Amino acid sequence: MPFSSILILSNGKYKSHIHQVILDNNEVNRISMATLHGPSLDTFVAPASRFIDESHPPAYRGMTYKESLEFNGSDEIDVQSSLSLLRIPFSL
């Protein structure tokens, strides 16, 4: 799912990592295939209620899965900047 839905669903508790493979030499052939999967386009993705309480208010705003695909729709995947735009500012 775009811009780390695990991070958003868990309200920042669980982090996803960007996968990167580094080969030490060119003796190994590697084939990679990207697969896209996610919920239905009208599914609302937001921090789950079990991760929200008075000590942990929502850290990210919610949106539909379709909106998340459109939001992260550039040719260049920049997960961190997309997440920063969804982050809800915390004030004391």
Q: Is the pTM of this model over 0.75?
A: no
Please check the confidence at residue 17 and state whether its pLDDT lies above 50.
yes
- 3-state secondary structure labels for all residues of the chain: CCCCHHHHHCCCCCCCCCCCCCCCCCCCCCCCCCCCCCCCCCCEECCCHHHCECCECCCECCEEHHHHHHHCCCCCCCHHHHHHHHECCCCC
Where along the chain do its domains lie?
A: 1-14+39-92
Express each pLDDT in 38-90 by its tens digit.
788 899 989 999 999 999 999 988 888 888 777 766 544 555 556 676 777 77
> What's the pLDDT band for 37 if we cut at 50, 70, 90?
confident
Query: In 3D, which of 33, 71, 41 has the Cα closest to residue 61?
Result: 71
